[in-house]
Amino acid sequence: MEQSTEQPRPATVGADEKNMSHGVVEESVGGSVAGEKVTGRILDHSHNADAAMKALAEYEGQVLELNEETNKRLLRKIDKHIMPILALVYCMNFLDKTTISYASIMGLKLPHAEGGINITSDQYSWLGSMFYFGYLVWEWPTSRLLQYLPLGKYSAFNIVMWGIALTCFAAVDNFAGAMTVRFFLGFFEAAVTPGFVLFTAMWYRKEEQGVRTGIWFSFNGVAQIVGGLVAYGIARGTDIHGSSIEPWKILFIVTGLFTIILGLVFFFIMPDNQMNCRWLSEQDKLLAIERIRVNQQGIGNKTFKMYQFKEALLDPLTWAFFFYSLFSSITNGGITNFFSLLITSFGYTSEQSLLYGTPAGAVEIVALIGCGYLGDKIGSRLLISTSGLLASILGVALIIGLPESMNVGRLIGYYLTGSAATSFVALLSLLGTNVAGYTKKTTVGALYLIGYCVGNIIGPQTFRGNSYETAEIIILVCYSVAVLIVVFIFFYCRLQNKKKAAIRAAPDYQKLANQEWLDLTDRENPEFVYVL
């Protein structure tokens, strides 16, 4: 294509308000795609454009008809193949890292002579944190690998490897060995959440992403129910019939082996993108790409773009995501590792705590799916999601405020904290919906999960000794801060939408052909609208 200096320059959204109003972007070098200039950068088919443009270019001239009936048929097929495997893997993602909580009251902490590994309460807190040290160390590199390597195959590799790591926990006999296994468990699980955000953004339209992120994330709640029942069954079975190995070791073996099998299934079912999908016809592959054109994001780009990396670091939205993840994860890190011990502190036995912890999972499922559905239906994912945080604040207030004699009321308070994940999931879905540009998306996703790691490292350390009152107060404060951050994100995104609308309304504004596939960031692209 010849470059043309006569064509009108489109309005673009840059890194600041001045750039946004004048359509100017730094590092302008000139270039064209299909004869049109795009923010002054060279966006050729082989390097800068999204994979979707490259795929569609191979079928130039082919007519793609995507009517409502075809769209619904494709959506059903995508849901049928993708959602069950995402949900099952995410179920194991939560269960595998919290298996240690069940093991803590199944003999793990006992002396060697009684079948445990002889650890103190403080050492157990460090086991809870060590998982997230592994997660933290590998989160940034694995986010880059998710961009560079085949998404489905790399994700499957990590699922199998964390299943192997979990199975190995049954062989540990001291604190050092347990710390090592927990580190590698977090190391390999680091790829799952950012990978699933990319899968969801790649396959679903913006208005479909909130509820589907809520569905696969809600399987954390399923994991809590299933985990409690499995742990209780193993504990009761070995108590009645005896066992040649300790019950907590059986728990690690069962969950680890199931995860390995699930990872192998994931390898064969989950495609890297629409173009190498085994269960779509050649025509449907193109239609599956076409149906997400409205997202203004494409399906992936393997080129690392420094300007997008810089934009991510300078975007206030990035740091709002980061600090929300940090504060909300302090509460998560404490509760997920100590919920069994927290329930026993209410006056219940160890076996009772295995069963009594399960209703919190049901609360999480209802809250996540309900808020995800209502958020997309009403068009306010963020504000609807705060209802779960407010319910959690009430729950922690009941735990702190009620006397020890009112153990049922305190238990209900714990159940209410099961709804806390609603805003975390809303923001997680917005990583796919409200962040565009593949390098920027993986960067913001990595920072969000780094905040998640740091918070989860801090969380278990708030539970010290046998009294958890200090930890409960910290959790209450963190929930409150998290609400304020969500409200800030809502108003910030609404303000940016108004600015973009003004640009699109300008008399000289012209939209580019195939702008959706040029791998523009959310701030560059004036057609991009933030979901609230």
Give the Cα separation of 69 and 81 in Å (integer).
Answer: 19
Q: What are phi and psi of 36, to 5 degrees?
A: -125, 140
- Residue 263 in any domain: the answer is yes
Report which DSSP code applies to 293: G
CB 158 within 8 A of CB 270: no
- Contacts of the segment 143-147: beta carbons below 8 A, 24+ positions apart: 143/194, 143/442, 143/443, 143/445, 143/446, 143/449, 144/304, 144/442, 145/191, 146/191, 146/194, 146/195, 146/198, 146/442, 147/300, 147/301, 147/302, 147/304, 147/438, 147/439, 147/442
Token digits for 455? 């918070």
pLDDT given at position 66: 78
Asked if the structure places residue 425 within a domain, the reply is: yes
CA 306 to chain CA centroid, Å, is 24
Strand partners of residue 36: 33
Q: CA nearest 132: which of 358, 336, 431?
A: 336
> Which pLDDT score is estimated for 465?
66
Name the domain count of the chain. 1
Task: Give CA–CA dist 520/526, Å, rounded.
Answer: 10
Q: Yes or no: say if 64 and 286 are a contact pair by the CB < 8 Å rule.
A: yes
Is the Cα torsion angle 158, 161, 166, 169 positive or negative in sign? Answer: negative
Would you state the pLDDT for residue 442?
87
Q: Are 38 and 7 in contact (CB under 8 A)?
A: no
Provide the residue-wise pLDDT of the chain in tens; the chain has 532 residues: 333 333 333 333 333 333 333 333 333 322 223 333 333 343 443 446 666 666 666 555 455 677 888 899 999 999 999 999 999 999 999 898 889 888 988 889 889 888 899 998 889 888 988 998 999 999 989 988 998 899 999 999 999 999 999 999 999 999 999 999 999 999 999 999 999 998 998 899 888 888 899 999 999 889 988 988 898 899 888 888 888 899 999 999 999 999 999 999 999 999 998 888 999 998 898 888 888 877 766 666 778 899 999 999 999 999 999 999 999 999 887 787 677 778 888 888 877 887 888 888 899 999 999 998 888 888 888 999 999 999 999 999 998 999 888 989 999 999 999 899 899 999 988 888 899 888 998 899 899 989 998 998 888 888 876 667 888 899 999 999 999 999 999 999 999 999 999 999 999 888 776 677 778 899 988 888 998 8
Q: Does the residue 54 lie in any domain? A: no
Q: What is the pLDDT of residue 22?
A: 33
Token pair 């979990």 in the structure block, residue:
166
Secondary structure of 39-62 in HEC code, one letter for each residue = CCCCCCCCCCCCHHHHHHHCCCCC
- Residue among 129, 366, 118, 86 nearest 224 (CA): 366
Burial of 124 (0-12, 13-18, 19+ CB in 10 A): buried
- The candidate with the shortest Cα–Cα distance to 329, out of 192, 441, 449, 182, is 449
67 assigned to some structural domain: no
How many angstroms separate the first and last alpha carbons of the chain?
39
Query: Could you give phi then psi for residue 519, rounded to 5 degrees?
Result: 55, 45
Residue 518 lies inside a defined structural domain of this protein = no
Any idea what the CATH number is for the domain that residue 165 is in?
1.20.1250.20
User: What is the domain range of residue 328?
Assistant: 82-279+297-502
Q: Are 312 and 436 in contact (CB under 8 A)?
A: no
What is the radius of gyration, based on Cα positions, of the chain? 24
Enter the tokens of residue 57.
Answer: 């270019």
Q: How far apart are CA 183 and CA 172, in angstroms?
A: 13
Has residue 464 been placed in a domain?
A: yes
Q: Which pTM value belongs to this model?
A: 0.77
Is 165 within the bounds of a domain?
Answer: yes
DSSP β-bridge partners for residue 33: 36
Q: Kindly state the DSSP code that residue 33 receives in the 8-state scheme.
A: B
Q: Does 333 fall in a domain?
A: yes
